[in-house]
Amino acid sequence: MELAAYLRLYDIGELHSIKGIAEGVENSNFLITTDDGPFILTLYEKRVASEDLPFFLGLKEHLADAGFSCPRPIAMKSGETLGTLAGRPSAIISFLDGLSVSEPTVKNCYQVGAALGKMHLLASDFKIHRKNALTLENWRPLFEASGERANEVQEGLVKFISTELDFLEKNWPGTLPSGVIHADLFPDNVFFLKDQLSGFIDFYFACNDLLAFDLATCINAWCFDAKNVFEPEKANALIRGYVSERPLSQAEYDALPILCRGSALRFLLTRLYDWLNVPPGALVVPKKPDEYIEKLRFHQTINQTPSYELSAKEAGLL
Amino acid sequence: MELAAYLRLYDIGELHSIKGIAEGVENSNFLITTDDGPFILTLYEKRVASEDLPFFLGLKEHLADAGFSCPRPIAMKSGETLGTLAGRPSAIISFLDGLSVSEPTVKNCYQVGAALGKMHLLASDFKIHRKNALTLENWRPLFEASGERANEVQEGLVKFISTELDFLEKNWPGTLPSGVIHADLFPDNVFFLKDQLSGFIDFYFACNDLLAFDLATCINAWCFDAKNVFEPEKANALIRGYVSERPLSQAEYDALPILCRGSALRFLLTRLYDWLNVPPGALVVPKKPDEYIEKLRFHQTINQTPSYELSAKEAGLL
């Protein structure tokens, strides 16, 4: 059995069970148990570029070594974490106990913010660099890939996006602190166990970009209710948690509204593209972009960070 | 969280993690871990008739109580094993360690035979009865549901099946010992752990029928190579294992060729129907019926059990 031979490259004992896991569209994931307990076995499919794997695996290893709670790639006896199984790049990763929350509380938002700030600090001495493929310069080509069809989703959407892109290209902050960001820290990707945050998962969008852009993505993902109404007390908690670990500079604080607009547009554009390009027989029905159209419209009404009902004091600047 | 509340009906502690499992087309299965370890949570979808659930859950409970290795339904504090979650019938079932084998050995066949004989004996005092919906009387209606389209799969297949059905209806043995059979004991549904059989899974075709019909299904599923060539030493081992636990009567021994033909036709017919009726966008591509056409053709050449190169002595009759 090929898998049994593969496991002998590791020092985790013999295989007891294997189950395919239904989540994860990018890769094939299996829950395996061995003499040493449960692990996740991942086969990397073609949507993940193999040249990025040392970044993804190295980042998780770096963070886990630093005491951050995230899945840890298990090293083979050779010391390597990246292997080959069934003709594909593969890795065995520790099993992270915990559950994502479908309705985050204010306390959850504080915890996520704090863990994000900690992650940004701990990743600051990680040596590998990965460009963000979904940042400002990529949005216009992504928009053009949908083009006029955007109006099929909502009347006037082409004009709406085009105007927003012009604005963001003119006003995007270029000089804020940058570093390794998670870039996809939605509630799905944060586990909690008995009310405590137990870790971040799914680092397959992680990259180098503005640190505060990660915080903006979290504001969009964690701080709106099911009807897309902004919840300022959650955003306050998220930011207070963040600055409890990593203080924001005045420039980062001031840039939050435009970073939130940019992050909303980034998810609007990918969801728009995926929505317009569902392959026939797709296993996963893509999310409609509407949620992020509404969030972007909201942020367009915000001229400065205190309009989020967040004072510089709450943000830890004073 | 609805699941957390559901778990409080049980005495298995708090939820630590949940993963959707990619296998099992009939139901939705989740691997959950709680304070007490791993379990399988099953939500029964409409393909499983809810009136059959007491049979399926009761059978596994009955067998597990008798010391047979199979997943055990966990009783709620109320004593019930069948619950309701997310609007569907649900159950929590113990996690059975082990791996199915893709290339069974002769030894594996002996082990499966022995476990099957044991299961037949232990289930003999199980009180609930479930008719086999895929036995002799069901084959003609199932064949008619495919009708002339069978020839799309293979030239002459309509005539081939029709002749076989006539033969089986005339010659089917009616008076052999009957009881609870697994009815779907393919290698997928048998787990091994470090060379020992660790249990049977997936009892969702289990029913009452001729006991030796279960053995015939195993001969078809375990004792042909990848090119559908019969492997007599595996069939011998399977039967020797079986009779080590439950002796075959002379009539059962003599009936093996026709039971093998019947079982081959049963899988031929369901695969034929599924092949001709793939829903658009199906998640699971059905298996082509060809394998069972070939197996049936083989059994048609066998006039009596010793022609399988299996003597009455090997079958434990002498």
Residue B33's closest chain A neighbor by CA? A97
pLDDT tier at A278, thresholds 50, 70, 90: confident
**Closest in A20, A99, A191 to B22, CB measured:** A20
Helix (H, G, I), strand (E, B) or coil at A114: helix
Say if pTM beats, i.e. exceeds, 0.90: no
d(CA B314, CA B156): 38
CA dihedral A112, A118, A119, A123 (to 10 degrees): 170
A86 has pLDDT over 80: yes
With tokens 């009455």, the residue in question is B312
Strands B88-94 and B178-181, bridge-based pairing:
unpaired
- Measured between beta carbons, which residues in chain A are less than 8 angstroms from residue B283? 283
Hey, is A165 helix, strand or coil? helix
> Contact at 8 Å (CB) between A211 and A135?
no
From the list B14, B21, B98, the residue facing A21 with the nearest CB is B21
Contact between residue B191 and residue B96 where contact means Cβ atoms under 8 Å apart: yes
With a cut of 90, say whether residue A47 has pLDDT above it: no
* Tokens encoding A96: 């992270």
Nearest Cα of chain B lies from the Cα of A33 at a distance, in angstroms, of 8
Say yes or no to pLDDT of B1 above 60.
no
Span A241-263, pLDDT tens digits: 999 999 999 999 999 999 999 99
Q: Looking at residue B214, what DSSP letter applies?
A: H
Predicted confidence at residue B131, as pLDDT, reads 96
**pLDDT given for residue B279 in this prediction:** 74
Residues A286 and A271 sit within 8 Å (Cβ to Cβ) = yes
| pLDDT bracket for residue A194 (50, 70, 90) | confident
Chain B residues with beta carbon closer than 8 angstroms to that of A14: 194
Please check the confidence at residue B25 and state whether its pLDDT lies above 80.
Answer: no
Nearest to A218 by CA among A72, A96, A116: A116
Whether B97 and A17 lie within 8 Å, measured CB to CB? yes
Question: Are A21 and B22 inside 8 Å of each other by CB?
Answer: yes
Residues A120-139, mean pLDDT to the nearest whole number: 97
A interface with B, Cβ–Cβ below 8 Å: 1, 14-23, 31, 33, 38, 95-99, 102, 191, 193-194, 280-283
Mutate to test the interface with A, among B2, B27, B31, B188 (most CBs of A within 10 A): B31
Domain architecture of chain A: domains with CATH: 2-94 (3.30.200.20), 106-308 (3.90.1200.10)
User: Residue A18 is nearest to which of B16, B38, B99, comparing CB atoms?
Assistant: B99
Query: pLDDT digits over B38-80, tens only?
Result: 999 999 987 778 899 999 999 999 999 999 999 999 999 999 9
CA distances from B271 to A301, B49, B286 (A): 59, 20, 7
ipTM of the complex: 0.76
CB atoms within 10 A of CB A122: 19
With 0-12 / 13-18 / 19 or more C-beta atoms within 10 angstroms meaning exposed / middle / buried, residue B58 is: middle
Helix (H) or strand (E) holding B42: strand B37-44
Q: What is the pLDDT of residues A49-84, one digit of tens each?
A: 889 999 999 999 999 999 999 999 999 999 999 999
Closest-CA distance of chain B to residue A312, Å: 35
What band does A286 get if pLDDT is binned at 50, 70 and 90? confident
B-chain CB neighbours of A21 within 8 Å are 19-22, 31
Six-digit token pair at B260? 């093998």
